[in-house]
Amino acid sequence: MSARTRMLVAGVIVPLLIAAASVVVMLVALPSLPDPVAVHWGPSGAPDGFGSPIGFLLLVPIVVLAYSAFAFAIIRGSRTETVNQRIVLAIAPFLATVLGGLSAGGLLTQAGVADARDAGSILPVLIVGFGGGIALAVAVWFFLPAPAPIAELDPATLPTLELASDERATWVRRLEPARWLGIVLGVLAALVVGGAAVVWLVAPTPAAVIYVLAVGLVALLGAGSLFWTVRIDSRGIVARSALGWPRFTVPLEDVAGAASVSVDPTSGFGGWGVRWAGKRRLGIILSSGPALEVRRRSGGALVVTTADSERAAALLNSLARRA
C-alpha cells in the first residue's frame, strides 16, 4: 500500500465509514426512542436536557465531512509525509469515533424507554467513546507512513560574511503571518466557537468541558505560534514566540550549517505555525517562499520563514565558524 493510500484510508475513508455507521445506528434506533429524547447529560451522567434527535443526526456527518475535506486537502497538497500531517490524520478517526460514539450511544441508551429521564447513565458511553477514539488514533499513527529523511547540506554552498575577529554583528526580525492567513484563522476561530456552542448544548457536560478546555488551549497556543522574534548574535539563534513560550535556541557550538531554502507550508510541513516535519526537523512556518534552515550538530534542524534568509544564514555560518 502506497504512502498516499495509507493517508487517504486513515484520514478520510475510515472516519467517513465510522460516521456513516453511527448515522445508520441512530436511524435504526429512531422508532424505539422516547419523545423527546435526552440531548444533554449532567456531571453524574443522568439526562438533564431534552429535545429532538435531529441534532445528533446532523452533527456527526457535518463535522466529520468538514474535517475529512480538510484532511483530504492536506493529503492532496503534500509531497512528503510530516509529523504534523500524521497528527492531523490521526485526529480524524478520533473525532469521528468520539462524536459518532457519543451520539449513537447516547440514543441507544434510550431505546425502548418510555421516558428519557429513565435512560441509563451516559458515562459508560463517554468512557468507551473517548477510549476507543484514543486507541484508534494511536493505531492510525503507527499505520501512517514515517516522515521523509532530511537531505544533507553541502558545506561548500553555505553562504558566509567577512567578519573580523573582534567584530560584532546581530540580526533581528519580527515575524508575523500574512494578512490572508489572519483572515482565514479568524473564520476558523468563529467556526470553532460555533462548534463549542453546539457541543455544549448537545454533549454531556464532562465531554463539553473537556472540549472547551482543549479548544481554548489549542487556540491560545496557536495564536502564540504565529508571532515571533528571531535573533542571531554571538549566542547563536533564538526564536521566541509573542507569549514568551515556546522558545527555541540553537547555540553557536551546535550550528552545523545554515542555508537559505524555499519552503511550501502544506507540502513540506503540513501547515502554518510551529510544525514538526520528522527527524527532529522543527519549523516556524508563517509563509511560503524563502526560509532560514539551521542544521544542528546534535541532529535535527530549525527552519524559520523569512525574506532575509540569505543574510541570516551567512551571518550565522560566519559566527559559528569563528566561535
Q: Please report the pLDDT score of residue 121 as a whole number.
A: 87
For residues 220 and 313, state if they share a domain: no
For residues 64 and 162, state if they share a domain: no
CATH code (residue 307):
2.30.29.30
In the structure grid, which three cell numbers stand for residue 110, read together? 434510550
What angle in degrees, to the nearest 10, is found between the helix axes of 123-143 and 205-224? 40
CA dist 180 and 119 (Å) reads 49
Q: Mean pLDDT over all residues of the chain? A: 84
Q: Please report the pLDDT score of residue 306 as a whole number.
A: 93
Q: Domain of 89?
A: 3-143
Worst-scoring range by mean pLDDT, 86-90, 130-134, 200-204, 225-229? 200-204
Q: In the 3-class helix/strand/coil scheme, how is 139-178 assigned residue by residue?
A: HHHHHCCCCCCCCCCCHHHCCCCCCCCCCCCCEEEEECCC
For residues 241 and 311, state if they share a domain: yes
pLDDT band at 158 (very low <50, low <70, confident <90, very high): confident
Question: What's the pTM value of the predicted model, to 2 decimals?
Answer: 0.60
Q: How many domains does the chain have?
A: 3
pLDDT band at 103 (very low <50, low <70, confident <90, very high): very high
For residues 74 and 200, state if they share a domain: no
CA dist 134 and 97 (Å) reads 9
Q: Is there a domain that residue 27 lies in?
A: yes
Mean pLDDT value of segment 51-76 = 89
Q: Is there a domain that residue 77 lies in?
A: yes
Q: Please report the pLDDT score of residue 205 as a whole number.
A: 66
DSSP 3-state of 188: helix
For residues 240 and 219, state if they share a domain: no
Q: Is there a domain that residue 148 lies in?
A: no
For residues 135 and 195, state if they share a domain: no
Q: Is there a domain that residue 149 lies in?
A: no
For residues 169 and 290, state if they share a domain: yes
Q: Please report the pLDDT score of residue 290 as a whole number.
A: 93
For residues 269 and 309, state if they share a domain: yes
pLDDT for 232 beyond 70: yes
For residues 62 and 139, state if they share a domain: yes
For residues 268 and 217, state if they share a domain: no
Mean pLDDT value of segment 267-273 = 73
For residues 88 and 203, state if they share a domain: no
pLDDT for 148 beyond 70: no
Neighbours of 237 (CB within 10 A): 26
Q: Is there a domain that residue 269 lies in?
A: yes
Q: Please report the pLDDT score of residue 265 as a whole number.
A: 78
Do 282 and 304 meet the contact criterion of CB atoms below 8 Å apart? no
Q: Please report the pLDDT score of residue 78 as a whole number.
A: 60
Do 95 and 66 meet the contact criterion of CB atoms below 8 Å apart? no
Mean pLDDT value of segment 200-211 = 66
Closest CA to 199 of 63, 68, 17: 63
Mean pLDDT value of segment 176-201 = 65
CA dist 149 and 42 (Å) reads 49
Between 87 and 267, name the one with better pLDDT.
Answer: 87
Q: Is there a domain that residue 124 lies in?
A: yes
Mean pLDDT value of segment 82-108 = 88
Q: Please report the pLDDT score of residue 238 as a whole number.
A: 96
Report which residue type is found at 21.
A
In the structure grid, which three cell numbers stand for residue 187, read together? 473564520
Q: Is there a domain that residue 150 lies in?
A: no
Q: Please report the pLDDT score of residue 313 as a whole number.
A: 94
| pLDDT tens per residue across span 276-290 | 776 678 889 888 889
For residues 117 and 139, state if they share a domain: yes
Strands 37-41 and 171-175: unpaired
Worst-scoring range by mean pLDDT, 158-162, 228-232, 267-271, 298-302? 267-271
Closest CA to 173 of 264, 285, 305: 305
